[in-house]
Amino acid sequence: MWSADDVARASVRRQGEGLSVAQVGDKVAEAQRREQETWQQLRSPAGGRGPYDVDPADLAEQWVARHTEWRRIAALMDDEGWPVYSTEQDVQGSTWARERDAQREGALARRAAWQREQQDARDELKAQVWLPAEVSRRLRAIAARTDLQPEQVLAQLADRVRMDNNGALTVGTFTPR
């Protein structure tokens, strides 16, 4: 759901809270070193890569994004003269965090709606009913008088069916709508 940039921004923001200028400088240097290491690993033959190792291309992309974000924070602290990084003061980082949260909430809402649709689809019953000619004529006449389709009349009828203790089905009088 999130890009490497989004993941980097979130993790760097979390890790950076309360760090001094020197500590952020160390993080920039570490991210640069790790970025170079992953690019070297990416260029080397993949023979030593095990089945559970992280994809070097993905890892390189993540470290490039982290390095970029740590540099942004270092520059921000330098420009603003902050002795310590604070996520609350980081306007751009806070905007990105709110956007990620909104994106996540939207994705969760879409997922929940999709799950409800899937459940409704499982609960629905689509049936093809063959009725004798006389019953079919009566059903069509009722449907015509009520401005409904025959299927709609049957659905309303089925909605009102009740079963008593003996297993007998009953339908009280009703007017199709």
Domain boundaries, the chain: 4-123, 133-170
The predicted-structure confidence for 54-106, as pLDDT tens digits, reads as follows 677 888 899 999 999 999 999 999 999 999 999 999 999 999 999 999 999 99
The predicted-structure confidence for 26-57, as pLDDT tens digits, reads as follows 999 999 999 898 888 777 765 455 555 667 78
**pLDDT-above-70 percentage for the chain:** 94
Give the C-alpha separation, 104 to 91, whole Å. 20
User: How confident is the model at residue 53, as a pLDDT?
Assistant: 66
Res 1 pLDDT > 70: no
- pTM here? 0.60
DSSP string across 73-127 = HHHHHHHHT-SB--TTT-HHHHHHHHHHHHHHHHHHHHHHHHHHHHHHHHH----
Closest CA to 172 of 160, 164, 158: 160
